Structure 1
Amino acid sequence: MFLSYLTVVIATTIVLVSCHDCKDFDLSASDQSFLMKHYLHTSRKEEGLSTGKPVASGVTYVRWGKKGCPKGVEMVYTGQVGGNDFTNKGGGVNYLCLPHDPENGESVKGGNDQLYGAEYQMDSSYKPPGMNSNLHQKEVTCTVCYQRKRSAVLMIPGKKTCFKGWTLEYTGYIMSDHKTHSSKEYACVDKDPEPLDNKTGDENGALFYGINTKCGSLRCPPYKDRVSVLCVVCTK
């Protein structure tokens, strides 16, 4: 109780002292109360910044290819990957993590179909080393994860370890659609991916292929020619 009273006195004193040069301006009790609350609120923000503690309560990221989050990380939802069909020449280029319990819109008439499921294309030619070859032409799963007490999330291509001061969430391989198809983003797919279900069918849609490096404009060394591309997701 005494500490609370002392804090109020100090805050009020600072506000009044900071305004000692003010002329023809009298602070009412309500004005002083408002300024004091503003000072305390601002001080808390500045204290958080000065100590290096994150203001945000956490960060979210998509764990591509998995039905769950790393140990100790909260799962927001799990679902299936969707995206634009590989033959479409326009429209969206990013993959989406679609929840299993959608709130569907109204029926429409039109020919702008863009949201398809996604399949692994994991035959011997396009499978990153170490990944399960039984995933070929199975649908891709995903999970949205919430990591508390973090303020930043970073996917690093070409690495399987995080830089100093960062916490590893998961490692994997960079995957995307085939270079001859419509453009898609580069996604960091977990090194031990899972299928959405046991259904196997060549239904296509948005596709996931392993990708390789190509030396030239990409400097080798330090990179190597025609190797799979590792990736890691880190938080801080």
Structure 2
Amino acid sequence: MFVASTVCFLVFMYVTLVACSADREPECSRFHYEEQLLEKMVRMEFNVERIQQRLDSVSESCAKLDDSTRLTEEVKDQVGSVYTRWGRNTCPTGSSFIYDGFVVGSHYTHTGSGANYLCLSKEPRWANGSPTASDVGLIYGAEYETSSANILTHFHNNEVPCAACRSRGPTIMIPGRNICFEGWKLEYHGYLMTSYQSHAGSKEFICVDSEATVAEGSNPGNQDEALLFFVKAVCGSLKCPPYDGNKLITCAVCSQTK
């Protein structure tokens, strides 16, 4: 009887121990799972902080890049390039106006004085004391000489205006074209003009606007001083084609956009 009771007790204790072990196992597994979940959440929070730091760094770099780009544009706007618009007293859209005036040059019969045309301000300012001299170079107002042409004939003998303008980029005058090359913006186009071929005083070639006007206060009276004639090509060393000895040479003033 005692042995039977003992065996039954031992069996009971064994079953109880097994049952307790089975009951504790899920508790142990659940604790381990929660511990791992907490660890993952901590790691995730750490990674989020690192990502946020990187995002802040990228945002700061983008802001600096924006500031640099804006500064570059401001510097570009401040630098630009200055050119003369011959034949007009205003500047094209997109260019800044500096001043306007009258086209002048040396007399067409003189061999001395300057060889270039100037855009002389129409608002002169004189030095104190009115300094003067007797041996000097001379400048004269320029006139359109267009009576033999089939364009701008109504401007013949009228004085020529001009304007000093500033573009946002470098500028170039392209003779022989009335449009710009790729990457360049057209400021204005027109015709090459200079002094007459057999006149004593040689002048530079300038690009006179195709939509030219006359100078303020101009009159069609014949002064014959500094003169502007259209230009043609002479075939020979200059190949025809592509040039044509019967056509007026065009020109374009272009500013760089890239």
Same fold (TM over 0.5): yes
Deviations 1:167-197 (A, max 9, x none): 0000000000101111000000000111113
Q: Which residue of 2 aligns with 1:215?
A: 235
Does structure 1 conserve the Cα–Cα contact (< 8 Å) formed by 2:88 and 2:163?
yes
Q: Which residue of 1 aligns with 2:79?
A: 57
Q: Which residue of 2 aligns with 1:120?
A: 144
Q: Determine the C-alpha separation between the residues in 1 that align with 2:77 and 2:160.
A: 34
Q: Which residue of 2 aligns with 1:87?
A: 109
Q: Determine the C-alpha separation between the residues in 1 that align with 2:95 and 2:101.
A: 17
Q: Determine the C-alpha separation between the residues in 1 that align with 2:95 and 2:171.
A: 13
Q: Which residue of 2 aligns with 1:102?
A: 124
* Structure 1: tracts of 5 or more residues without a match: 1-5, 7-43
Q: Which residue of 2 aligns with 1:171?
A: 189
How far apart are residue 55 of structure 1 and its match?
A: 8.9
Secondary structure (helix, strand or coil) at the match of 1:200 reads coil
Q: Determine the C-alpha separation between the residues in 1 that align with 2:189 and 2:224.
A: 26
* Structure 2: tracts of 5 or more residues without a match: 1-56, 58-67
Q: Does 1:142 align with 2:162?
A: yes
Q: Determine the C-alpha separation between the residues in 1 that align with 2:231 and 2:78.
A: 35
How far apart are residue 65 of structure 1 and its match?
A: 0.2
Percent of counterpart pairs with the same letter?
37
Write the letter of the residue equivalent to 2:189: T
Q: State the Cα RMSD in Å.
A: 2.6
Q: Does 1:153 align with 2:171?
A: yes
Q: Determine the C-alpha separation between the residues in 2 that align with 1:154 and 1:109.
A: 37
Q: Determine the C-alpha separation between the residues in 2 that align with 1:75 and 1:54.
A: 17
Q: Structure 1 residue runs of 4+, over 4 Å off?
A: 53-56
Q: Determine the C-alpha separation between the residues in 2 that align with 1:66 and 1:179.
A: 25
Q: Which residue of 2 aligns with 1:41?
A: none
Q: Determine the C-alpha separation between the residues in 1 that align with 2:78 and 2:131.
A: 39
Write the letter of the residue equivalent to 1:118: A
How far apart are residue 215 of structure 1 and its match?
A: 0.1
How far apart are residue 221 of structure 1 and its match?
A: 1.4
Secondary structure (helix, strand or coil) at the match of 2:162 reads strand
How far apart are residue 74 of structure 1 and its match?
A: 1.4
Write the letter of the residue equivalent to 1:80: F
Q: Determine the C-alpha separation between the residues in 2 that align with 1:78 and 1:55.
A: 21
Aligned residues: 186
Higher helix share: 2
Deviations 1:86-117 (A, max 9, x none): 11102210100011111134342414342111
Q: Determine the C-alpha separation between the residues in 2 that align with 1:203 and 1:90.
A: 19
Secondary structure (helix, strand or coil) at the match of 1:145 reads strand
Change (3 A) 1:201 1:113: farther
Moved more, 206-215 or 65-74: 65-74
How far apart are residue 223 of structure 1 and its match?
A: 1.1
How far apart are residue 198 of structure 1 and its match?
A: 3.8
Secondary structure (helix, strand or coil) at the match of 2:154 reads helix
Query: Rg larger in 1 or in 2?
Result: 2
Q: Determine the C-alpha separation between the residues in 2 that align with 1:64 and 1:71.
A: 16
Secondary structure (helix, strand or coil) at the match of 1:134 reads helix
Q: Which residue of 2 aligns with 1:229?
A: 249
Q: Determine the C-alpha separation between the residues in 2 that align with 1:107 and 1:204.
A: 28
